[in-house]
Amino acid sequence: MRGGGGGGWGGGNNGNRKIHWVSWEKVIAPKEEGGLGVGSIRALNIGLIVKWWWRLKSDPPSLWSSVVTGIQNLNGKHNLFLSNKKVPGLWNNIVNARKELSKQNINIDNIFKYVVRSGEKTSIWNNTWIGSENFRHKYPNLYAIEPNKNCSIAQKTASKQNAWQWKSCPLSLGLTQDLGSLYRDLFSSPLTPGDNHWRCKLTTDGVHFVKKIDLTSHHATQPSITWCKLAPIKVVAFIWRASLGRIPTSSTLMSRGINIPSSLCGSCVGADEQVDHLLVNCPFATYVREMIFTWCGICPPTIIGVSELIQFAATWGNCMKQRRRFIVICYGLLWGIWKFRNDRIFNGTFTTPSRGVEIIKSMSFLWIKVRGSGNFCNWDEWRLSPFSVL
C-alpha cells in the first residue's frame, strides 16, 4: 500500500523490504539539526498523518479502512488507542507518528469529534460521543446496572417510558449524582437528523483540513527549505526530501540493495543517477534550469546540488515578493525534472527540455494563481516575465 497524499515518507514496498526514505527522528528533529522542527510538524505532518486517521474514521467502507480495521480488530471502536507491534510497515509508522505527536502535546484524538446525528448505530455506553471519554468509563456504576449494554443512543433517547430501566434502582444505590450528570450530558447534545460522522476540529468546515493548515507561521529561519505556501505541500515535502538526498533514484535504490537493471541516469547515461545529478547536474537538468533562470532574468550561477539551488533561491534578491515567486519557480523546476524522469521510466513518455521549460512555467503559474493572494499577472505577462505586476 502506498502512502497517501503524495507526500508520505513512509516505507515503500519492494518485495518485503521496507524502505524509510526519511526516518521519523529526522522528521521531528529541530530545524537546526536538519529536521522539520515542531512548527513544521504541525504544518506538514499533521496534514499527512491525520489524513490517514481521518480516512480510517470518516470513510469506513474504503479499502484502507477495512484493511486496518481488520488487522487491528477495530470494529466498533472509535478510539484510537491501538498499536499492534506485530504488524509492520505503514501502520506502525502511523501509530508511531501518533505517539510522537503526543509528545509535542498534539493529540490526534482531539483533532476529531464524533458528531452524533440520529444515533441509531452509536452505542450509548461504548462510543465516545460526548466529552472525551465514553459513558462506560465515566459512569461505571451505572453501566454495571444497565441491562442492555449494547443499546444505541437512539434507543435510549426515544421518548419511551421504559427507555431507561436499570437492574437495580440507581437512587437506592446512592447514584443520584451520577444519574443527574448523565442526564445533563444527554440533554447537552440534542440529536439532529442525518448520519453520524466525524468532524475535524482544525477547520471550520470540518472536512478539508489538509488544505487549511496554515503554513505561514512556520517559515524556517535559516532553513535548507522555505515552507512556501504557494507551492503544494507535496511539492515542498519532496523538495525537503530531495535536499536530504532521500528520493528513490536508481542509484539510491541500488545502494539499498534493491535489484534494478542499472544505476545510471536514464537521461544522459553518463553518470550514476544520484539526486544531485538527476535534479541539478545532468545535462537535461542544467539546460532546463538555465532556460528557467534566463526567463527570470537571472544570470545562471554555477550550482552543484539541490541544497545549493534551494539556498540560492531562499536568499536571492531584495524584494520579498519577487523572491517568493522565484522560490516557487525553483521548486517547480525540481519537481518538474523529477516528474519528467518518472514519466520517462514509468510511462515511457519523453519530455524535451524546451517542452519541460514550458510545463514548469505553466505549473508554477497555476500554483501561484490558485494559492496566492492579491494581484497576479495573466498568462501572457507571466510567460514574458514571472515578475510581472509586482
Query: Which spans of this chain sit near Zn ion (rule: CB under 5 A)?
Result: 265, 267-268, 282
CB of 270 to Zn ion, least distance (A): 6
CB of 278 to Zn ion, least distance (A): 6
CB of 269 to Zn ion, least distance (A): 7
Cβ proximity to Zn ion, 243 vs 267, nearer residue? 267
Cβ proximity to Zn ion, 265 vs 360, nearer residue? 265
How far is it, in rounded angstroms, from Cα 309 to Cα 317?
14
Cβ proximity to Zn ion, 112 vs 284, nearer residue? 284
224, 243 contact by CB (below 8 A): yes
Cβ proximity to Zn ion, 27 vs 303, nearer residue? 303
> What does the CA dihedral 57, 122, 170, 182 come to, rounded to 10 degrees?
60
How far is it, in rounded angstroms, from Cα 242 to Cα 256?
17
How far is it, in rounded angstroms, from Cα 232 to Cα 209?
14
Cβ proximity to Zn ion, 58 vs 263, nearer residue? 263
Q: Find the farthest-apart pair of alpha carbons in the chain and give their distance in angstroms, rounded.
A: 87
CB of 258 to Zn ion, least distance (A): 20
Task: Please choose, from the candidates 45, 33, 39, the residue with its C-alpha nearest in 3D space to the C-alpha of residue 8.
Answer: 45
Cβ proximity to Zn ion, 146 vs 273, nearer residue? 273
Give the DSSP letter string of 288-351: HHHHHHHHHT-PPPP--SHHHHHHHHHH-SS-HHHHHHHHHHHHHHHHHHHHHHHIIIII----
Single-letter amino acid, residue 111: I
CB of 265 to Zn ion, least distance (A): 3
Cβ proximity to Zn ion, 46 vs 282, nearer residue? 282
Cβ proximity to Zn ion, 175 vs 278, nearer residue? 278
Residue found by looking up cell 520579498 in the block: 320
Strands 112-115 and 197-200: antiparallel
Paired strand residues for 123: 152
CB of 246 to Zn ion, least distance (A): 19
The three cell numbers locating residue 14: 519492494
CB of 353 to Zn ion, least distance (A): 12
CB of 39 to Zn ion, least distance (A): 36
Paired strand residues for 198: 114
